[in-house]
Amino acid sequence: MDKAKEYTKPPIWVGALIGAVFTPALMAIMYLGEAFASLPFAPFDLFNWIARVMPGQLITFGIDRMIDILLLLGQGANLDQTAKTAEEMMGLAVFWGMGIVAGAVFFFVMNRWVNISNVNLAGIALGLAFGLPLQLVISTVNVSSSASEIVQIVWTVLLFLGWGMVIAWAYTMLAMFSNATEENPEISAQGIDRRQFLVRVGGASATLTVIGAGLGAVLRNGPGQGVPAAIALDATQATTDGAGNPLPNVDALVQAVPGTRQEYTPIPDFYRIDILSGGLPSIPEDYTLPVTGLIANEVDWTLDEIKELPATEAFLTMSCISNRIAGSLISTTKWTGVSFQEILEIVQPDENAVAIKIVGYDDFDEYVSLDMIREDDRIMLAYYFNDEPLPLRNGFPLRIHIPDRYGMKQPKWIRSMEFVSEHEPGYWVRRGWSRDAIVNAVSVIDTVSTQSAYQQDGSWVIPVGGMAWAGDRGISKVEISIDGGEWVEADLRDPLSQRSWTIWRYEWPFEEGPHTFAVRAYEADGTLQPTATRGTRPDGATGIHEVDEIVMEPTPAEPADA
Ligand SMILES: Nc1nc2c(c(=O)[nH]1)N[C@H]1C(S)=C(S)[C@@H](COP(=O)(O)O)O[C@H]1N2
Ligand SMILES: [Mo]
């Protein structure tokens, strides 16, 4: 009788059980690795990744239900902490579930298609099939590890190979430990059957899990340990750009307070200002951009030809000069286009050319000086917002972006570009608005977030949040003053870029009653923003933003039926 026929195939549910038994031990070892050597902790990475690719409402719904459960268990003292715990528990649950499914699938595949003599190979395949995609996810998201990528990969692959082999081993043992012991006298001599085997490996795995998790927790809390990457995600905020890539600051530790504006403006919400207001210009299907005037090489580019030129992209905040303090005529997205320096290189301006006259399909016109272009390679002829062609309302097919200038200097719907010998005043300059339209530093309070209140050492804390922006000059500090008191520093979130706004938050020690909240910001070089209140015309608004609010005692979140 050949060996393959001696064993009894263990049922699939036993495979699920084996997955359920061994996956926690795997998690515990990963946890230990994270605490000990900052190796990746796959369950949190995985959950973070899922949270990015799944619809936001689904994730929030899941987190809310989990928070409900934690509150029921009396774990709801600090809402922020509770939300974080909820996310982490979901991460663990999802990972465990995948381990269970993997165990069941493995047993199914073994029973049906694979000869038991190949069980170790199958175990290796299982480990790789689970581990490699996970390592990919870990590399994309990487919220949990500061180890080098190669170390991460080796660690993950070894761990999952080990896990796959252990499951393969368990399969072999179960196949041999028939419950009908007289069928297999050799085994029955050891006096062990499937049930006993399951109990033993379950006990061993549980012990390993408890030791690993306990040791990991101790290590994590030790002095000098870095902040473990918690997945504190505000599900209303975008985490990826239009191409599906994580936003540049996705790992920033400081999170926007709920109620803060969208850091990455959804394209339909991007503000719109132009002399057409209502209608939209019609752009010919066979659009080309004529570049003419005082240049050696006149061109008439199709959009495709422009997209073939070296591309550049940047996360940019743009504002209208008519935006009031805390107004909504300001937005942020990722811009893609061609540096105007590339264009100069190709068309070769004459010596007497000083500016480009840009005209839009609505006859709006502005002039851009060649000196400025030569000094600043960031000036961009843009064709994408958020990795998609510009929406018609925001300037399809082409618009210019000039760092540190208000929108009025930056034509949309570009119809033509002409190199000229005189820098004349553009559309809005002729109507009395600023000649240079340089952005003023501003800061804004978006929310005093009573719905995000939490308790710390028995007192309520209410997060206050908003943004600060200083064109291309960056923000180094934001300060808050309550009821005219001293200015205290807020926490700054890493911005999307030096040229985007900076989201900030301040943990306000709650005091009941009416309060005035004020904010001010400093540019990267330490310059305080203009604090004098000034209207929009002609040079853009300045001044301190203040918010008056009557803040009542927050009520602790409680389960509805408690
Ligand atoms: N062709 C054209 N370009 C234009 C304008 C315009 O009226 N016509 N308005 C400018 C102004 S004042 C602003 S604030 C920005 C607004 O760009 P948005 O509508 O995409 O936000 O476009 C600028 N470019
Ligand atoms: Mo504007």
**Joined tokens for residue 461:** 């804390």
Whole-number Å distance, alpha carbon 408 to ligand 2 midpoint, is: 5
Q: Is the pLDDT of residue 534 over 50?
A: yes
Of 13-27, 131-145, 176-190, the range with the lowest mean pLDDT is 176-190
Mean pLDDT over residues 333-338, rounded?
A: 98
| Residue 409 to residue 126: CA distance in whole angstroms | 59
Query: Is the C-beta atom of 272 inside 6 A of ligand 1?
Result: yes
pTM to 2 decimal places = 0.62
Angle at 327 between CA 500 and CA 451, to 5 degrees: 85
Nearest ligand 1 atom, CA 281 = 1
Mean pLDDT, rounded, for 405-419: 98
- What pLDDT sits at residue 230? 29
Whether pLDDT at 65 is above 60:
yes
For residue 408, the CA-to-ligand 1 centroid distance in Å is 6
**Best substitution site from 265, 267, 270, 274 to test ligand 1's pocket, by max atoms within 8 Å of Cβ?**
274
pLDDT score at 286: 97
Structure tokens at 376: 């600043």
**What pLDDT score does 190 carry?**
52
Q: Is 275 in the pocket of ligand 1 (CB under 6 A)?
A: yes
Residue-wise pLDDT tens digits, 238-266: 999 999 999 999 999 999 999 999 999 99
Q: Facing residues of 290 across strands?
A: 300
Minimum-distance ligand 1 atom for the alpha carbon of 406: 14
- Check pocket membership of 281 for ligand 1, CB cut-off 6 A: no
Q: Kind of pairing, strands 355-360 and 414-420?
A: antiparallel
Residue with tokens 């919220």: 143
pLDDT for position 19:
92
Angle, CA of 263, 267 and 269, to the nearest 5° = 75
Q: What is the pLDDT of residue 257?
A: 96
Ligand 2 centroid from CA 271, angstroms: 10
In this structure, the residue with its CA closest to atom 12 of ligand 1 is 408
Residue nearest to atom 24 of ligand 1 (CA): 411
Q: Is 164 in the pocket of ligand 1 (CB under 6 A)?
A: no
* Cβ 536 under 6 angstroms from ligand 1: no
Instruction: Say what the pLDDT of residue 59 is.
Output: 65
Is pLDDT of 545 > 60? Answer: yes
Ligand nearest to the CA of 274: 1
d(CA 459, CA 456): 5
CA-proximal residue: ligand 1, atom 22 (nearest)? 407
Q: Which ligand is nearest to the CA of 331?
A: 1
pLDDT the model gives residue 1: 41
Whether the predicted pLDDT of 13 surpasses 70:
yes
Bigger pLDDT: 31 vs 421: 421
Residue 393 alpha carbon to ligand 1 centre in Å: 9
pLDDT digits (tens, 9 = 90+) for 435-493: 999 999 999 999 999 989 999 999 999 999 999 999 999 999 999 999 999 999 999 99
- pLDDT tens, position by position, 274-319: 998 778 999 999 999 999 999 999 999 999 999 999 999 999 999 9
Q: Are 205 and 227 in contact (CB under 8 A)?
A: no
Q: What confidence score (pLDDT) does residue 522 get?
A: 98
Using the predicted structure, report yes or no on whether residue 519 has a pLDDT greater than 60. yes
Give, using CA atoms, the residue closest to atom 20 of ligand 1.
394
Nearest Cα residue to atom 5 of ligand 1: 274
Structure tokens at 63: 């987190």
Task: Kindly state if the Cβ of 440 falls inside 6 Å of ligand 1.
Answer: no
Q: How confident is the model at residue 146 (pLDDT cuts 50, 70, 90)?
A: low
Closest Cα partner for 176 from 1, 15, 6? Answer: 6
pLDDT digits (tens, 9 = 90+) for 352-396: 999 999 999 999 999 999 999 999 999 999 999 999 999 999 999
> If you take atom 18 of ligand 1, which residue's CA is the nearest one?
272
Residue from 269, 412, 428 whose mutation best tests the ligand 1 pocket (most atoms within 8 A of CB): 412
**178-207 mean pLDDT:** 69
Give the pLDDT mean for 123-136: 89
367 Cβ inside 6 Å of ligand 1: no
- What proportion of the chain, given as a percentage, has pLDDT over 90? 62
**Mean pLDDT over each residue of the chain, to the nearest integer:** 87
pLDDT score for 2: 46
Q: How many CA atoms lie within 13 A of 3 on its CB side?
A: 6
The model's confidence at residue 232, banded by pLDDT at 50, 70 and 90, is very low
The identity of residue 384, as a single letter, is: Y
Any atom of ligand 1 within 6 Å of the Cβ of 394: yes
